[in-house]
A and B are shown apart, each in its own frame.
Chain A
Amino acid sequence: MSFPNTDDASNYDANQRPHVPLLDSADVEAPAADLPRQRRRRRRTAAVVILLLTGLLGVVYLVVTMTSNGEEELLPAGSPESSTTLQPEKMKPVARGVEEGVSEKTYRPSLGARAYPWTKRLLAWQRTAYHFQPKENWMNGPLFYKGWYHLFYQYNPDGAIWGNNIVWGHSASKDLIHWHHLPIAMHSDHWYDINGVWTGSATFLQDGQLIMLYTGSTNDSVQVQNLAYPADPSDPLLIHWVKYSGNPVLFPPPNISPQDFRDPTTAWLTPEGMWRITIGSKINGSTTGMSLVYDTKDFKSFKLLNGSLHSVPGTGMWECVDFYPVSKNGKNGLDTSEYGPGVKNIMKTSLDDDRNDYYAIGSYDSEAGIWSPDNPDIDVGIGLRYDYGIFYASKSFYDQEKKRRVLWGWVKETDSEETDTQKGWASLQAIPRTILLDKKTGSNILQWPVEEVEALRRNKNVFDHVKANPGSIVLLDVGSTSQLDIVAEFEINEEALKKINGTNISYSCTTIGGAAERGPFGPFGLLVLANKDLEEQTAIYFYISKDLQGNFKTFFCADHSRSSEATDVDKAIYGSIVPVLEGEKLSMRILVDHSIVESFAQGGRTCITSRLYPTKAVNEDAQIFLFNNATDASINASLQIWEMSAACQRRRQKIVNKD
């Protein structure tokens, strides 16, 4: 494949793309003169070296680019907005009929999309510095064992594509940030997993023994569940695994399609003393997604319970189901077997239909083997999402060491497969997040980057009460900005909020034109990965709407429509409502790591993961700005911005355990 090695700007006319300015009259203010800042040295972005495991072919990537964003419908006008319950934008069930001419995937510029002349330098910049980024990755069996965090992931040793010969890649870490790549944990070497060693989950038995249940794709492409366990339980690195000689331990039940039966969960101990698991599936011949329940004593023979743990019509196949307790009042995560009055239960599924991860809070009746949602209007698959950006096939585990529940999520590329070919890799994991019930609202969870990521912070910059008038942009001068941790608080002018009348115009992040669409109280927020002239910019922002009764709703959005001059990348606008309680300031946290940006609003009530592929706003040319595109309300923002160090990932065959 020939490819120009240098910026072939002569063949690419950026003027072909209409440039929509962010603000009517961009009023870029001088760098905020502020409290004395630390001096910082210019640093070059550290290159992340991902070493291949020996004996495996080099080629890479696999995940084809795809964006899919469910259309977010607005709440019907007049629905009460309670300050304590989350009323999310209701998800419309994915259209299953004839695709309209303008499909759900309208965020790719279709007419005039052309191949951007990506250079090696630009593509190299896209590589992240502190995210987990193996060659291929879907989520599997994360766990903590004898001092190490383990991540098993779907990997194709032939490199080129998903599908044939998926095996279990394996990495280990002491801190969820610095990873050691280990040998393949399990190959596809038996008839029952010859077509793929797919997703699995780990369970710790009462005596501390570790077992793994995983889905295998058989020689007939039937999906079955298999049992495996560490060959040497005294090995903290869990290098070698043994497959149970009696595999498979579960075949698809007779009334279920043999290809709708995958991704067994971590087991939990019922009060009756049985181990119980759930496996996502779909009612045959319907679009009702559901989750089957099995009881077992030994993980070798199972009893299928009648019915299902839960089902929701119209949601399609449920993949990567996750089911776990959260504490109503405590500060910690809970072991998967926790049960009782102080506990709520989260039901989560990945929907095959729209490639998003959905969850709902509810109650679990162990005796009946049934879970029911607190609010059926926002049931699993039709309500809240873990993340309103690119985030799928996520899975949680209980970290018994730090007593927290940790969530992993897979983040694919949103550029073209051909570019992935060039750059030599595709997809990565989001920064692990802790999960807690939001005690203040009671109707959503909070996700927050694990505290270990803060060890990468350096060169702090503080901006205190920076004012931004309506229609203004303020440069925040922090130097090189490809790797950042940003914590920001916003205050909006109270007078304006009270004075200006509400309207009956409904707002939605995805359907109202993004950050350029002005309202009286928004949008305002930050522009990240923006170049000096603002030809490229990604807006992460709040938008406050006020209805005729004077009720406020706050939206948290990420607008990628101007993120890059390239047209062979997705440029969607994502986001959702975020609950804001009386007396709370608006706050956001943003982790920037080259081509991935993760944004969290109100302590993690609403999260958005973005993939960005700028052509100009890279390396030393990437800036951050504060912006306020509201027409009426001024805002002031207080920010702490750190540069983030790179986290090296290494290959280790022998690691000396320094405990």
Chain B
Amino acid sequence: MKLLLTLLTLLHMHEIPQLKDQALIESTCRNTANYQLCISTLLANPKSATADVAGLGLIIVDAVKAKTEEALSAIEEMKGLHPEQRYALERCTAAYKAVLIADIPESVAALTKGVPKFADFGMSDAAWEAEICEGSFERVAETPLSGVNKDLRELAEVAKGIIKILL
């Protein structure tokens, strides 16, 4: 009996931190504009299990960074396939490079050092650069980069929602 109780207690103790972390992830994501995207991005990263709110923010910022790199690769490919879009693609390269060079590192530093407004600046600009890239194409409903631009904008907005909690 004692053994059973001990085992059960140990199992229970193991569960409680996980429950708490899950609760933190859920409540954090409820503060964002896209709950599902927030949850799925965080849960895909094992660090989210033990992260505080700033840490969760950093995970999303990291996802924005990955998405930016994905966008830059896609743009490079497209330059070969769509020479007629050269101008827009160059605008997009410039925009996304600014995200990589400035917005991401600034957001990371801000969240690490506890001055979250700079992360808000960074993620706001990241979302804006994505919009600017999208808008640089001739007025068409779907540009070659619509998917990745939208993804990046949405991730950046999720990041901003988390950052707002820290302000």
Contacts and interface: CB of A to CB of B under 8 A. Distances in A.
A64 B125 contact: yes
A316 interface: yes
Contacts of B113: 163, 195-196, 217, 221, 259
Interface in A92-111: 96-101, 105, 108, 110-111
Contact of B128 (A3, A8, A108): A108
Contacts of B99: 417
B98 to A, nearest CB: 4
Question: Secondary structure at chain A's binding surface: helix, strand, loop or mixed?
Answer: loop
A64 B105 CA distance: 11
Nearest to A393: B117
A441 interface: no
A105 B132 CA distance: 15
Interface in B119-167: 120-122, 124-125, 128-129, 131-136, 139, 157, 160-161, 164-165, 167
Interface in B93-110: 93-95, 97-99, 101-103, 105-106, 108-110
A163 B106 contact: yes
B117 A110 contact: no
Contact of A1 (B97, B121, B165): B97
Given A64-B122, A115-B95, A161-B106, A418 B161 contact: no
B121 A418 contact: no
Interface in A183-216: 195-196
B17 interface: no
A11 B87 contact: yes
B67 interface: no
Interface size class, chain A: 35 or more
A160 B94 contact: no
A3 B90 CA distance: 7
A568 interface: yes
Contact of B93 (A1, A259, A422): A1
Contacts of A66: 120-121, 124-125
Nearest to A392: B117
Interface in B73-106: 87, 90-91, 93-95, 97-99, 101-103, 105-106
Given A64-B121, A115-B136, A418-B98, A259 B114 contact: yes
A352 B87 contact: no
B125 A99 contact: no
Nearest to A96: B164
A421 interface: yes
Interface of A: 1-4, 8, 11, 16, 61-66, 96-101, 105, 108, 110-115, 160-164, 195-196, 217, 221, 223, 257-260, 262, 316-317, 352-353, 355, 416-418, 420-422, 567-568
Given A110-B131, A112-B139, A421-B98, 12 more contacts: A65-B121, A66-B124, A96-B164, A96-B165, A98-B161, A113-B128, A114-B135, A160-B101, A161-B106, A316-B167, A317-B167, A421-B94
13 contacts: A4-B87, A16-B139, A63-B121, A64-B118, A64-B122, A99-B164, A113-B128, A114-B91, A162-B110, A163-B106, A221-B114, A416-B95, A417-B103
